[in-house]
Amino acid sequence: MRYFCRKGRHFSANRKSNGIATLWRTRSIILGISYRYFRQDKRDYPYMLQNQFQIVYFEATRRCNLRCPSCMTGSNEPRKVRRRVRSELTLEEIRDRILLPARRLGVHTVGWSGGEFLLRKDALDLLRLTVELELECSVLSNCKALTRKRLEKIQDVTRGRAKIIVGMNALDEGNRWSRDNDSDRSIQVLEDCAELGLGRHVVITIGKYNTESFEKTVDYIVKNSISYNRSPLVARGSGSQCFEQMGFDRNDLEKYFHPALRRNPHGYVSYTPFFLSPELHEQASGGIRNNTIPENPAIGCWAGSWLAINAEGDVSVCPVLLDVLNAGNVREQPLDELVESSSLFADITDRSRLKGRCGRCRYQYTCGGCRAMAYFHTGDYMGDDPTCFFDPVDRSTVSEHEEETNRNFKKYLLVARAAGVYKPPGDRPSGRSPLPTEKGKC
Ligand code: SF4
Ligand code: SF4
């Protein structure tokens, strides 16, 4: 099996000394077979757990070539980064402790992020490995290192299956303030991707700096048929220095961000408040686990629907909660075992335990409130989302935006189906296909 062998640089070096190489290869094959037998084939997760986690978001390095002032991984502080780089997971650890366990959990896509992921020397090897494991891959980049030549290389090693995710907060100078880069560079990369036939997605980090420009940014993205999601500015890493001043509040959300978000189904990814009728979601999904967190497709707050991992191997329920709210480390337990035994994942996926307005709301399950906003504003990740502008008396209070959300959700189902994250009832996933066999590999 290709991924149990020492391919590439390390293996080539070993191969030069024949005896050691043969021994190493034999050991790899034996370990590979026993690993597969005991850990792969024998672990058979129930359908529910296997289909809960579709995406791994992995910040594989903290190194970066930009200095964004609110960087949540703290990559704008070179001294701290240098100290932590020594603890970054290696390719072998990533393969054995994250990718193979993720596959057993039914994960569909790995999103490679940073820092700037492309600064890892083994970035292309990791992308190649992802595709060999039959996982889809996305590359989140600040675009500085993403030349046309680099894009072609990524296209080549992923057999054209990579999606490029670009961080772009505004089309105007707001982008340079928050991203340390001009939006022209991001736009150029998006255009190059279109020409090369690579998938495209944009992440817009929202805060007070882009209230006015948000609608225009979304309009540009939608006009160019690109999917997107909003990510909140949070008090993680260097964000903690400007969160109070620059974090958005409920008025900003109601007046500036929410109207554009709810109008465009291409961005129905991880945002709150999400006023989807629970009955409609149950009907569309086939009722899978809708009394805990909504799946097939995931909607509202995605915490607990995806797996977020930092460069040192800590795991959390959402990327913006990494470093501050961790379920454990993959060096101690492989990802699947860690998630299965985590009390954080157990809590966050049980929305019947939400408190305050979120706990008495009709959208308790289909929205759930941004758990990160609850945590960063109140310290309680199961608390009320203070940025929500909806004030339900009880479960009978219906939002004036429900009808519009329901209408656009039906369109979103088509997008989600095409992206492989939604299957209509009667056409449910039956779990992962077996891993590629040794035949024809290595
Ligand atoms: S906590 Fe939920 S809504 Fe907030 S950013 Fe994370 S997944 Fe999105
Ligand atoms: S009160 Fe909570 S669950 Fe209800 S809409 Fe607002 S954020 Fe969502």
Give the DSSP per-residue string, 247-289: S--HHHIIIIIHHHHHH-GGG-SS-SS----HHHHHHHHTSTT
128 contact partners, CB below 8 Å, separation of at least 6: 157, 158
CA distance 398 to 3: 52
Mean pLDDT of all residues in 262-284? 93
For the ranges 74-83, 292-301, 342-351, the maximum mean pLDDT occurs at 342-351
Asked if the model's pLDDT at residue 112 lies above 90, the reply is yes
**Smallest-distance ligand from the CA of 302:** 1
Q: Which of 218-232, 286-300, 378-392 has the lowest mean pLDDT?
A: 286-300
Contact 236 CB / ligand 1 (< 6 Å) = no
Atom of ligand 2 nearest to the CA of 368: 3
pLDDT of the residue at 404: 97
**Smallest-distance ligand from the CA of 402:** 2
Distance 378 CA to ligand 2 centre (A): 15
Distance 207 CA to ligand 1 centre (A): 14
Nearest to residue 272, comparing CAs of 318, 237, 307?
318
Mutate which of 52, 295, 301 for ligand 1? The one with the most ligand atoms within 8 Å of its CB, which is 301
Atom of ligand 1 nearest to the CA of 305: 7
Asked if the model's pLDDT at residue 405 lies above 50, the reply is yes
Q: How confident is the model at residue 437 (pLDDT cuts 50, 70, 90)?
A: very low
Asked if the model's pLDDT at residue 58 lies above 90, the reply is yes
161-179: pLDDT as tens digits: 999 999 999 998 778 878 8
Q: How confident is the model at residue 103 (pLDDT cuts 50, 70, 90)?
A: very high
Asked if the model's pLDDT at residue 62 lies above 90, the reply is yes
pLDDT of the residue at 289: 56
CA distance 409 to 115: 33
Atom of ligand 1 nearest to the CA of 369: 3
Q: How confident is the model at residue 81 (pLDDT cuts 50, 70, 90)?
A: confident
Contact 304 CB / ligand 2 (< 6 Å) = no
pLDDT of the residue at 311: 97
The residue whose CA is least distant from atom 7 of ligand 1 is 302
pLDDT of the residue at 40: 42
pLDDT of the residue at 173: 79
Atom of ligand 1 nearest to the CA of 234: 5
Contact 320 CB / ligand 1 (< 6 Å) = yes
pLDDT of the residue at 359: 96
3-51: pLDDT as tens digits: 333 232 232 333 333 444 334 433 433 333 333 333 443 455 554 555 5
Question: Is residue 408 helix, strand or coil?
Answer: helix
Contact 390 CB / ligand 2 (< 6 Å) = yes
Nearest to residue 344, comparing CAs of 308, 376, 377, 378?
308
pTM of the model: 0.85
pLDDT of the residue at 27: 41
pLDDT of the residue at 45: 56
- Sign for the pseudo-dihedral over CA of 39, 42, 43, 47: positive
pLDDT of the residue at 363: 96
- The shares of helix, strand and coil residues in the chain, as percent rounded to the nearest 5, are 45, 10, 45
Nearest to residue 122, comparing CAs of 4, 7, 1?
7
pLDDT of the residue at 43: 54
CA distance 198 to 182: 22
- Give percent above pLDDT 90 in the chain: 67
Residue 226: both structure tokens together: 């690109």
Average per-residue pLDDT for the chain = 85
- Give percent above pLDDT 70 in the chain: 84
Nearest to residue 296, comparing CAs of 134, 412, 203?
412
Mean pLDDT of all residues in 66-79? 88
Mutate which of 348, 385, 393 for ligand 2? The one with the most ligand atoms within 8 Å of its CB, which is 385
Mutate which of 351, 354, 364, 365 for ligand 2? The one with the most ligand atoms within 8 Å of its CB, which is 364
